[in-house]
Amino acid sequence: MFIISVLLVVVVAGCGRSVDSLDVVTPQGLEISNFFMVTLVIGLLVCVLVAGVLAVAVARFRGGRYPVGEEPPQVTGNRRLEITWTLIPLLTVLVLFLISLRIMNVVHANDSPSAGGLPIQVIGQQFWWEYRYPAPSNPSTQVITANELHIPVGQIVRLQVASNDVLHDFWVPQLGWKRDAVPGKTNTMSMTVLRAGTYDGECTNLCGIAHAWMRIRVIAESELQFQSWLTAQAQPGDPPATPQQQHGQRVFLANTCTSCHTVAGTTAQAQVGPNLTHFGSRFYLASGVQVNDPQHLRAWLENPQAVKRGVLMPGYASLGNDDLDALVAYLEALK
Ligand code: CUA
């Protein structure tokens, strides 16, 4: 246990990204991380005790005390000692087990829909994340977006984690714990985020060649900001304004883009790839590989494999410069 704890701390401390696994922002996650600290301290005490006794034994009974070839007196059977060193670990593990049970109850307390709160479907796909919210005007319809998960602070958010293809795993360290995304099964993750901010995470289940590029960005914001975001997401994006953007929309609708993507308000309604209705408002493209700007988008459209090996999107270099530039202008204007 101790070695595992130390390894975890080393891994967490060594993460080059701006993720602080110990700076947890949900009460549910705090229960888990506090418990981790308790087990870490217990493991440390056990380690010091065992190493200390070992050191004393090595020093006290080192060679030279007995003539060469002669065994020291052998001690066997001390019932009181044996009961003591059986009972102490047994009780320690029992107490940790009971605390674990309590924490599991706290973490899962709001998993049932009767607890209220906002249900959000989180769907793992090769190799990106889809999020589906109940539409504000008509909760039986959905607002669909990708890769950037907006959530309101201070209220129960019920993430319903599932997968559309293979096993993925939804992990945002600062939320406090993670859930497998399993095809055909929904795993619930209910939480209340206490602090507004941006929290990064990623898929942690090897799910294929681009597994490392299933980044997650959680944007926790005030209820007011969240509601205005969701209301905007529920609307189609602005129609193309400039001639170049209009040209880009024609290119988009005339090509196989429409076989995979939706842009609300157009004939593109496929749900294979990420919903692009408000693509231009996202910070990253390709699930966190690149910052979403015209240069990177242009490179992506030309040859997605060069940007994110294993991505299921084909390249569109054959469109030629004019069409590609127009397509970039159109997509970036989808705010
Ligand atoms: Cu999805 Cu790894």
Atom of ligand 1 nearest to the CA of 205: 2
Q: Tell me, in angstroms, the distance from the centre of ligand 1 to residue 284's CA.
A: 17
Ligand 1 pocket member 168 (CB < 6 A): yes
Ligand 1 pocket member 124 (CB < 6 A): yes
Atom of ligand 1 nearest to the CA of 204: 2
3-state secondary structure of 193: coil
Tell me what pLDDT residue 243 has.
Answer: 94
Q: Tell me, in angstroms, the distance from the centre of ligand 1 to residue 215's CA.
A: 9
Q: Tell me, in angstroms, the distance from the centre of ligand 1 to residue 169's CA.
A: 6
Ligand 1 pocket member 146 (CB < 6 A): no
Q: Which domain holds residue 301?
A: 243-332
Residues 249 and 313 reside in one and the same domain = yes
Atom of ligand 1 nearest to the CA of 166: 1
Residues 257 and 220 reside in one and the same domain = no
CB atoms within 10 A of CB 226: 21
Report which protein residue has its CA nearest ligand 1's atom 1. 168
Q: Last residue of a domain, which of 204, 233, 262? A: 233
Q: Tell me, in angstroms, the distance from the centre of ligand 1 to residue 125's CA.
A: 8
Tell me what pLDDT residue 6 has.
Answer: 54
Q: Last residue of a domain, which of 233, 267, 292? A: 233
Q: Last residue of a domain, which of 181, 207, 233? A: 233
Q: Tell me, in angstroms, the distance from the centre of ligand 1 to residue 166's CA.
A: 8
Q: Which two tokens stand for residue 256?
A: 């196989």
Q: Tell me, in angstroms, the distance from the centre of ligand 1 to residue 164's CA.
A: 12
Atom of ligand 1 nearest to the CA of 124: 1
Ligand 1 pocket member 149 (CB < 6 A): no
In a domain, 70, yes or no: no
Residues 218 and 126 reside in one and the same domain = yes
Number of domains in the chain: 3
> Residues with Cβ < 8 Å from 285, sequence gap 6 or more?
279, 291, 292, 296, 297, 300
Residues 103 and 121 reside in one and the same domain = no
Residues 24 and 100 reside in one and the same domain = yes
Q: Give the burial class of 84: count Cβ atoms within 10 A of its Cβ; 0-12 exposed, 13-18 middle, 19 or more buried.
A: exposed
Residues 95 and 129 reside in one and the same domain = no
Residues 134 and 169 reside in one and the same domain = yes
In a domain, 223, yes or no: yes
Tell me what pLDDT residue 137 has.
Answer: 87
Q: Tell me, in angstroms, the distance from the centre of ligand 1 to residue 11's CA.
A: 19
Ligand 1 pocket member 201 (CB < 6 A): no
In a domain, 266, yes or no: yes
Tell me what pLDDT residue 115 has.
Answer: 87
Ligand 1 pocket member 249 (CB < 6 A): no
Reported pTM: 0.84
Ligand 1 pocket member 215 (CB < 6 A): no
In a domain, 67, yes or no: no
Residues 89 and 121 reside in one and the same domain = no
In a domain, 238, yes or no: no
CATH number at residue 321: 2.60.40.420
160-180 per-residue burial string, b: 16 or more CB within 10 A, e: under 16: bbbbeebebbbbbbbbbbbbb
Ligand 1 pocket member 161 (CB < 6 A): no
Q: Tell me, in angstroms, the distance from the centre of ligand 1 to residue 167's CA.
A: 7
- Average pLDDT, consecutive stretches of 10 residues, N- to C-terminus, the chain (335 residues): 53 50 89 93 94 93 76 84 93 95 94 91 95 91 93 96 96 95 96 95 95 95 96 90 94 93 91 92 90 94 93 92 94 92
What are the angstrom distances between the C-alpha of 138 and each of 115, 134, 142, 144, 234?
A: 21, 7, 8, 14, 10
Q: Which two tokens stand for residue 223?
A: 């209820």
Do 222 and 196 meet the contact criterion of CB atoms below 8 Å apart? yes
Q: Tell me, in angstroms, the distance from the centre of ligand 1 to residue 130's CA.
A: 13
In a domain, 304, yes or no: yes
CA atoms within 13 A on the CB side of 58: 6
Residues 126 and 228 reside in one and the same domain = yes
Residues 119 and 103 reside in one and the same domain = no
In a domain, 73, yes or no: no
Residues 153 and 225 reside in one and the same domain = yes
Residue 334's closest CA among 260, 248, 270, 221?
Answer: 248
In a domain, 155, yes or no: yes
Residues 209 and 307 reside in one and the same domain = no
Tell me what pLDDT residue 48 has.
Answer: 97
